[in-house]
Amino acid sequence: MSVSPADEVAGPGVVARVSAVLGAFSTAPAEGLTLTQLAERCRLPLTTAHRLAGQLERERVLERSPDGRYRIGLKLWELGMLAPRGHGLREVALPYLEDLYEVTHENVQLLVLDGAEVVVVERLRARNAVQLRSRPGGRLPAHATSGGIVLLPSAPEVLDALAAGPLERFTAATIGDAEQLRATVALARRQGWCELRGHLTPGSVSIAAPVVVHGRPAAAVSVVGEIGTDSSPLIPALLTTARAIARALAAARTP
């Protein structure tokens, strides 16, 4: 492949634009985006959006539905499955999450910290249990979820940024100031787990524990139940599950 001077100059802008085009789909409806919608969401001229989308379609990163709308393509899904912090982590952890679900019959989640949010890597939904706001590949605010709180000690700069505020409130119980945030994180670090009641949705309680591999929290496991649930019998199962996943991750050398 030849390298022209134009490539050398133009690269950064194009990569950022490709990232913007793909990112536009994170809040897109299930049926996909028309070219006009895509251009508007990326703040790109229609001609530029058309050219980029066409190139991404040729690379099978985007696909078009029969009605012409653009959607994330199968190729991108395949590439995404190679992410160690996504699918790799999920593959190792899944049997232990299933065991925790069988024992507790509550919703079970596997989360990783990314900036000031936690990303839901896997989620086992209990039938007849409380509704979850999350979906695999979705994000939740770290300061309002027990999984986020147990991961924040590993990211002091993120904790400082969150403490500098403002903190978005989702319910009357959501942590709203720096003092309360630092105290909750400190307690979670001391006891090795965190419980939050009604912080993200009024009707649910979540408990979480970090999955610590080689001294570093690689992920968090959480159990989400109805607000009236007595969490004390769930905590030992949560802690043993987090440790089992940590052992399996260390053995698989998957960070």
Please report, as ranges, the residues that interact with its own copies according to CB under 8 A.
1, 3-4, 6-19, 22-23, 25-26, 28, 30-32, 43-45, 48, 51-52, 55-56, 59-61, 63, 65-66, 71-88, 91, 112, 114, 119, 136-137, 139, 252-255
Token pair of 206, please? 């979540």
Instruction: State in angstroms the smallest separation of the CB of 244 from its own copies.
Output: 17
CB 211 within 8 A of CB 249: yes
Instruction: State in angstroms the smallest separation of the CB of 194 from its own copies.
Output: 22
What do you get for the CA distance between the two ends of the chain, in Å? 34
Helical (H) or strand (E) element with 185: helix 178-191
Closer residue to its own copies (CB): 12 or 228: 12
Closer residue to its own copies (CB): 138 or 176: 138
CB 244 within 8 A of CB 106: no
Closer residue to its own copies (CB): 123 or 199: 123
Instruction: State in angstroms the smallest separation of the CB of 117 from its own copies.
Output: 11
Closer residue to its own copies (CB): 6 or 164: 6
Residue count of the chain: 255
Closer residue to its own copies (CB): 26 or 36: 26
Shortest CA distance to 200 belongs to which of 89, 85, 90, 111?
111
Q: How many Cβ atoms sit within 10 Å of the Cβ of residue 239? A: 17
Token pair of 188, please? 């979670």
Instruction: State in angstroms the smallest separation of the CB of 124 from its own copies.
Output: 11
